[in-house]
Copies of this chain bind each other. A is one copy, B any other.
Amino acid sequence: MNAAQESSTTIARAALSRLFEPSDAVGLALVAAAGPRDALRIATGGLKAAGDIKEEIQELLAPGEGRGNLLDRALERWAPRRPDLAPERDLATLARFGGRLLTPEAEDWPGALEDLQLAAPVCLWVRGSVDVPPLQRMVALVGSRDSTNYGASVTAEMASGLAMKGFTVLSGGAYGIDAQAHRAALGTSGTAQPPTIAVMACGVDRYYPAGNEELLRTIARDGLVMSEVPPGSSPTRWRFLARNRLIAALGAVTVVVEARWRSGALNTAHHAAGLGRPVGAVPGSVYSANSAGCHRLLRGGSAICVTDASEVAELAGPLGTHPETDVCVPSSDHDGLAVQDILLLDALPLRMYSSIDKLATVAGLGFRDVLAGLARLELAGLALRGPEGWRRAPKS
Q: Identify the A interface with B (CB < 8 A).
A: 19-21, 23-24, 73, 75-81, 84, 150, 154, 236-239, 241, 260, 262-264, 266-267, 269-270, 273, 282-286, 291-292, 294-302, 304-308, 311, 322-332, 334, 339, 342-343, 345-347, 357, 360-361, 363-369
> Given A20-B364, A283-B295, A283-B298, are A266 and B330 also a contact pair (CB < 8 Å)?
yes
* Chain B residues in 8 Å Cβ range of A346: 236-239
Among residues of B, the one whose C-beta sits closest to the C-beta of A280 is: B299
* Chain B residues in 8 Å Cβ range of A325: 300-302
Among residues of B, the one whose C-beta sits closest to the C-beta of A296 is: B326
* Chain B residues in 8 Å Cβ range of A84: 361
- New A-B pairs, 6, CB < 8 Å, besides A78-B366, A283-B295: A77-B364, A78-B364, A81-B361, A283-B283, A283-B294, A298-B298
How many angstroms between the C-alpha atoms of A332 and B263 in the bound complex?
9
* Chain B residues in 8 Å Cβ range of A284: 283-286
Inter-subunit contact B302/A328 (CB<8 Å): yes
Inter-subunit contact B327/A307 (CB<8 Å): no
Inter-subunit contact A334/B302 (CB<8 Å): no
- The list of the 10 closest CB pairs from A to B, nearest first, reads A283-B283, A76-B366, A262-B331, A236-B346, A266-B328, A270-B328, A298-B305, A300-B326, A80-B360, A286-B307
* Chain B residues in 8 Å Cβ range of A296: 326, 328
Pairs A–B under 8 Å by Cβ, sample size 8: A20-B364, A73-B369, A75-B366, A238-B339, A239-B346, A266-B328, A267-B329, A299-B304
Inter-subunit contact A343/B80 (CB<8 Å): no
* Chain B residues in 8 Å Cβ range of A75: 366
Q: How far is the CB of A206 from chain B (nearest CB, A)?
A: 16
How many angstroms between the C-alpha atoms of A300 and B298 in the bound complex?
12
Among residues of B, the one whose C-beta sits closest to the C-beta of A323 is: B299
How many angstroms between the C-alpha atoms of A332 and B292 in the bound complex?
16
